[in-house]
Structure 1
């Protein structure tokens, strides 16, 4: 009998398996979440000289970061923060415009070069530093502007968009859906934009969230390509974090944590509203 040992009693896996898996899962989550939680909590502390931060609760660290009196030479984090948000969102827009059609073509049609296109779509999974060097050598003049960062972010994160959306498309009977829409008089563009794309909203929203989150924190490509002007947030923190206290740095990182959470929620809400209601 399944779940029983040779003596007829429940097996060890049946008795302890679920508890063991649950324990490992909880321990893993706590291990990964503890640094984030501790960093956020310490951002409201007045000092950290011992094992744990002390002197709660103060907003001095947050004020120093937001208004520019703490991290780096009296420069506020806000400009770099919102600049990075814009760069990452620009990359997501490009990924949507290019990645969704590519994912659809790969999932829907059989054509010469299909496998090559699929490989090319995930090729930018190469490390950012490699793509940054290649981009810098190929487009030396373009690399001096924010446009270069947007294009680079879109290239680096395109595989996540393509794979997420392609997974949604492959779970649907695209041919049947298209034929049904066309039989009702819908043109192909209307079918694609109002039927196919909304049906893949789960993958599109997931791909957008992953692409934006990773692009906003991209360091390697930014470090290679960026030359002047407002620095992306990752470079801003890298260049200034050694000149400030850990508590101020914790506040700066906490701002980024909250930003990621806020944009993730916003992308989910906007994605579901713009692609239609759940059926």
Structure 2
């Protein structure tokens, strides 16, 4: 008997319609999200935004932005990497502790850590100023901004790392290594951290992204000597020509995108290695 295909012409037309609809929605969302950024970048490269591209292209505004705000670029990355270092040093052990010691206390601690994410950034910054703003030398230093960024980004590091630890089944590996006499520190550094590397890299990507682009906390915590990229961007939009503000956006993207692409590549590479290290499932028969 001839085999009847279940894929009828009507079903084929339906599949094509679904594919076209999906592509249309994807393009519409991309245009909605990316379109304004592209227009802003073009505005920073035109001689006169109100005339349009017909006025010609120029790098004059980018040069002015660099001369006015170059110091905010290095300062921003300094804050971001210090924030990342603190979040990794605190977040990875804390994520493992929450994975090992599960219970009401662990859940309460995790919820407590999420408060800075739920509370508006200005409120968190005001609380930091009230509680720590009088400490000698702290209010005018970058570390004051770093403290605020750590409070905001640490929950993201902990959650991404803890999710990787739970999925990898590291509790069983840790117990097996403990029975062989490995110390707690050795187990953590040689078993837990390498196996949780994809989650750690994902958390690192999130922390860097949030820290570099964080405005609400930084705006209230900064001083004229500790201004960062987002604060400078807001100042340029408020007090200068639109072309300069748009050129600032271009500089911001040029500094941020290569870093994010590199970290995303590392995260994807770590994920592929983790999947390749997992042995294939075996089926047992009774």
TM-score normalised by the chain length of structure 1: 0.83
- The 3 A distance-change label for structure 1 pair 88 and 171 is same
Query: How many residues align structurally?
Result: 266
**SS of equivalent residue, structure 1 residue 80:** helix
Q: Which residue is 1:176 aligned to?
A: 172
Gaps of 5+ in 2: 1-5, 278-286
1:154-204 per-position Cα deviation (integer Å, ceiling 9, x unaligned): 101112111211221121111222234445654321221222112122221
Select the residue among 226, 230, 233 that pairs with 1:234: 230
Residues 87 and 157 of structure 2 are in contact (CA less than 8 Å); yes or no, is this contact kept in structure 1?
A: yes
Q: What's 2:206 paired with? A: 210
Q: Distance in 2 between matches of 1:28 and 1:206?
A: 24
Residue 69 of structure 2 corresponds to: 77
TM-score by length of 2: 0.81
Aligned counterparts of 1:26 and 1:273: Cα–Cα separation in 2: 28
Counterpart mapping for 1:136-215 below 5 A: 136-141=129-134, 142-182=138-178, 186-215=182-211
2:122 is matched with: 129
Alignment of 1:233-272 (within 5 A): 233-268=229-264
Shift in alpha-carbon separation, 1:56–1:185, aligned structure 2, 3 A: farther
Unaligned runs of 5+ in 1: 69-75
Distance 1:181 1:30 in 2: 52
For the 8 Å contact 1:123–1:159, the answer to whether it is kept is: no
The answer to whether the 8 Å contact 1:48/1:54 transfers is: no
- 1:28 deviation in Å? 0.3
| In structure 1, C-alpha distance between the alignment counterparts of 2:156 and 2:248, rounded to whole Å | 27
Shift of 1:42: 3.0
Q: Within 2, Cα distance between the matches of 1:274 and 1:94?
A: 21
Two-structure CA RMSD over aligned residues (Å): 3.0
What residue number does 1:60 align with? Answer: 60
Preserved CA contact (<8 Å) 2:99 2:165:
yes
